[in-house]
Chains A and B, each alone.
Chain A
Amino acid sequence: MIYDEPRFLTGGDRAIFVEFGGTIDPQINRRVRNLALVLQKEVVPGVIETVPTYRSLLVYFEPRQINAQQLRETLYRLAQSPEEGELRKPRLIEVPTVYGGEYGPDLEFVATHNSLSIPEVVRRHADTPYLIYMIGFIPGFPYLGGMSSKIAAPRLTTPRVKIPAGSVGIADRQTGIYPAESPGGWQLIGRTPLKLFAPTQEPPALFQAGDYLHFTSITPEEFTRVREAVTQGAYSLKETTME
C-alpha cells in the first residue's frame, strides 16, 4: 500500500527516513529509488549519502550544513519529482548458476519439501525474473523479490559455519546470493561463478537496486570457464534492457 504522502521518520540527529509505503511492492520501491536518483542529480548541500531499501530511503546529512526541518521540506518537494529516465528501463542480468550437487547441497531437500522433482525446482527458480529491491546487510548482497512460493523452504535449523561465495539459496519465500564466504542458514540450491562484490571496482557491487536478475542453469564445466573469465576480468555481464 502506497501512502498518500511520504512519511518522515527520524534516524537521530544525522539521518532521516523517507517512507513511501507499508508493504514490499515494486511500485513503492520505484518511488524510493527515484528519490535516490533525484538526489544524485540535484545535489542538496549537506546530504552525505542515501540508502535505498524496500520502502524507504535513508538520507544521511550534515546538520551543520542543513537542518532537519529544511531537509524534510526539500525531500518532500523532491519526492514529488517525475520518474527519472534510468528508472523506466531496468537491466535484466543473467546469473549463470550450477544447480545441485556439491554446488547446491540442499536442492534435493527443497524438492522433497515441496513435493516437486529436482528439474521442476530448477525450472521454477530459473524461470522468473527477480527484482533487486535493495542491496544491503553485507557488501553486495541483493534482496530479491518475486520467487514462487511453490519452492519455498525453511531456513536450516543449524546454520552452516561456512558457505562459499556465490552460493544461491532459499530462505522461506526469499531467494538470494551470498557475495562472500560467510556463515549462513539458507538452503543452498546452486552456485554462480560471478563475483558480486569487488572493492576496487566502481561501483563495487555487481548489481544495483532496480536491476532484475535471471538465473540460468549451467554445467560445472561452464562454471569453471566463467569463473576463469571473471578472475581475469574477461567476463562481460549478459544483460538486456527491459522495456
Chain B
Amino acid sequence: METFEVIQPGPLTTIQDLGRYGYQQYGIPPSGALDDYAFRAGNLLVSNEESAASLEITLFGCQLRVLQDTAVAVTGADLTATLNGSPIPRWETVPVHRREMLSFPRLKSGCRAYLAIAGGINVPRVMGSRATYTKARIGGLEGRALRKGDILRTAAARPLTRRARISAAHLPAYGSRIELRVILGPQDDCFTEGGIHTFLQSDYTVSIQADRMGYRLEGTPIPHRRKADIISDGLPLGAVQVPGDGLPIVLLADRQTTGGYTKIATVISVDIPELAQTKPGDQVRFRRISENEAVTALQEYERKIQTAKNSSA
C-alpha cells in the first residue's frame, strides 16, 4: 500500500532497520539505525516489530505527503515536526490522514529523527535486511537516500486501538556536551600512559566530518608509543580509532569492516545513540568503565526500553 510521497527529501533521509548481520566477513558493514533507542521506541509506539523499517531523517527539510490514513511516531531529534503546519508531539502515536503534509522544517535538538509508520516500510530485504548502505548501493530504496517523488509503501498494519506515548522518565535529552563510556582496548597498549590520560581527560569537538560511517573528533592529539599503524583487523561498533595525527574517530554503523589504525578504546553500545544525536561543534568526553559496568549499563538500557513499552500501552 502506498503510504507516503516524498515532496522534499532533506539532506539525508534513508530507510533503516536494526542492521544487516553475517556479512562483515565479505566487507559489508551492518548499517541500520544509528540511534537504536529512538528507532526501537518509534516502532513500539505504532505496534510494529522493533526492527521494522523506518525513516532516519538527518537535520531538517524533509517533507512527506500522506497518501493513505495510517499512524506514525516521530522519535529522536527534535526537528519541530508539523502536520499541515501544526506542531505534532514526538515520542507519541500520531494518526495521519490522506492529503495531510508531514514536515520537519527546523532542527531544535539532536541530529537524527526517526519516523516509524504502522506496518513498517516495505522494501525488499537485501542480505536479510532493509537497511540502506548508500556507499555500496545496498538496501532501502535502490540503495540510495530518498529523492523527491519517491513513494513509500508499507505493509498492512494492525489497526491501532489506542494512542501511546513514551513516558517522560524515558525520554532522552540531547545536549551539546556529552559523556561517552568506553572500555579500553583492543590496542590501548600502543599508547603512552600520558596518551591514555589525554584521551580520558580532554574535551573533544565533533568535526564537520561526522556521518553514518564515523565521527571524527578534534582536540588534543593522543600520542602513540611508536606507530599509529597495526596489521589490519576488525572494527567493532564504537571503536575509537586513532590514526597518525592523534585525533580520535569513533566508528558507527556504516564503518569499513576492517582497518589498520590503532584503536584505543570502544564506546559501549548503549552510549552510541547519544553520540549519533550530536552534530559538528558539540563536545564529547570519554569515561573509562569496566566490562562488568558495561553489562550493568546494558541491562539498565534494555529495562528502560522494556518499561517504555509498558508505559506506552
Q: Does any Cβ of B come within 8 Å of A146's Cβ?
A: no
Q: Does any Cβ of B come within 8 Å of A79's Cβ?
A: no
Stretch of B104-112, B197-205, B230-238 at the chain-chain interface: B230-238
Q: Does any Cβ of A come within 8 Å of B307's Cβ?
A: no
Q: Smallest CB–CB gap between B230 and chain A, Å?
A: 10
Task: Pick from A10, A53, A141: contact of B234, CB below 8 A.
Answer: A53
Q: Does any Cβ of B come within 8 Å of A162's Cβ?
A: no
Give the chain B neighbours of A17 by CB distance below 8 A: 186, 233-234
Whether B183 contacts A10 by the Cβ 8 Å rule is yes
With known contacts A10-B266, A138-B136, A204-B127, A48–B21 Cβ distance under 8 A? yes
Whether B27 contacts A140 by the Cβ 8 Å rule is yes
Q: Does any Cβ of A come within 8 Å of B313's Cβ?
A: no
Give the chain A neighbours of B259 by CB distance below 8 A: 137
Number of B residues near A (Cβ < 8 Å) is 44
Residue from A13, A50, A58 having most chain B Cβ neighbours under 10 A: A13
For window 190-243 of A, CB contacts with B under 8 Å fall at 197, 199-200, 203-205, 209
Q: Does any Cβ of A come within 8 Å of B258's Cβ?
A: yes
With known contacts A64-B302, A67-B295, A199-B138, A11–B234 Cβ distance under 8 A? yes
Give the chain B neighbours of A12 by CB distance below 8 A: 182-183, 236-239, 266-269, 294
Task: Pick from B22, B257, B269, B298: contact of A137, CB below 8 A.
Answer: B257
* CA gap between A179 and B258 in the complex, in Å: 16
Q: Does any Cβ of B come within 8 Å of A92's Cβ?
A: no
Interface size range on A against B: 35 or more
Task: Pick from B28, B184, B187, B298: contact of A13, CB below 8 A.
Answer: B298
Whether B127 contacts A199 by the Cβ 8 Å rule is yes
Q: Smallest CB–CB gap between B67 and chain A, Å?
A: 29
Q: For chain B, what secondary structure do more than half of its interface residues adopt (helix, strand, loop), or is it mixed?
A: mixed
Give the chain A neighbours of B236 by CB distance below 8 A: 11-12, 14-15, 58, 60
Q: Smallest CB–CB gap between A197 and chain B, Å?
A: 7
Whether B22 contacts A197 by the Cβ 8 Å rule is no
Whether A11 contacts B186 by the Cβ 8 Å rule is yes
Q: Does any Cβ of B come within 8 Å of A63's Cβ?
A: yes
Give the A-B pair count, Cβ closer than 8 A: 142
Give the chain A neighbours of B135 by CB distance below 8 A: 138
Q: Smallest CB–CB gap between B210 and chain A, Å?
A: 20
Whether B186 contacts A199 by the Cβ 8 Å rule is no
Task: Pick from B25, B126, B127, B268: contact of A209, CB below 8 A.
Answer: B25
* CA gap between A55 and B234 in the complex, in Å: 10
Give the chain B neighbours of A51 by CB distance below 8 A: 24-25, 234, 257-258
Known: A17-B234, A54-B233. 14 other contacts (CB 8 A): A11-B185, A13-B269, A13-B298, A15-B236, A51-B24, A136-B256, A137-B256, A137-B258, A137-B259, A180-B136, A197-B136, A199-B28, A204-B23, A205-B27
A and B contact pairs by CB, cutoff 8 A, 30 listed: A11-B239, A11-B266, A12-B182, A12-B183, A12-B238, A12-B239, A12-B294, A13-B183, A19-B233, A23-B231, A48-B22, A49-B22, A51-B258, A52-B25, A53-B234, A60-B236, A68-B291, A68-B295, A134-B258, A136-B257, A137-B256, A138-B27, A138-B135, A138-B136, A139-B28, A139-B136, A180-B136, A203-B26, A204-B26, A209-B25
- Using a CB–CB cutoff of 8 Å, the interface residues on chain B facing chain A are 21-28, 126-127, 135-136, 138, 182-187, 231-239, 256-259, 263, 266-270, 291, 294-295, 297-298, 302
